[in-house]
Structure 1
Amino acid sequence: MAERLASLGAPIRLRIIRTLVRAGDDGVPVGELQRKLGLAASTHAHHLAAMVKAGLVLQERRGREVICTAAFDAVRSVGAYLIEHCCADTATENRSEAA
């Protein structure tokens, strides 16, 4: 989980994952993603590689293009982890404050 959270630790990476989540299962070709985000090819490749390694982004060759998609189960697991482990005491705190 630490690797997944770390891979989201840059604003551009959050923009990448948000773009891919919005694209859904169709994904976005690498070149189009690079143009949409206005990144240099080397910078773009560096950030995508980190997110692929963390399991948050999937890449698939379709013909001559490489399509990037969000790994939805992995993205959901990050949210679930944060809610379960980082907000676990919130319900208890809210009950004690109400009493």
Structure 2
Amino acid sequence: MEKEESKEMKEETVTSQEEEEELETVAQPEQEPSQIHILRAYIKTQLNQELKQLQQLVEEQLKASEERLSSKLTALEQTLQLHPGKGKNKTK
């Protein structure tokens, strides 16, 4: 009688362990999509931050280039106004 009870307890233990393993196996795929979702959201946030920084940097460089070209153009225009005859092709 005791052997049968011991055997049943072992079987129940094995069965419950198997059920837990099955539940863990089933639970993992459900957790993975949420983890993937979290990871995607994190990556998206990081990419957006990086994109904003790059956009700001490009805008600053563009503005600096525009200011440089504008000052060079102004200097060139002033030079041409002071010496209107120079720089023009003379016909023979």
TM-score (norm 1): 0.28
Higher relative contact order by CA 8 Å / sep ≥ 6: 1 or 2?
A: 1
Structure whose alpha-carbon radius of gyration is higher: 2
Larger strand proportion of the pair: 1
TM-score (norm 2): 0.29
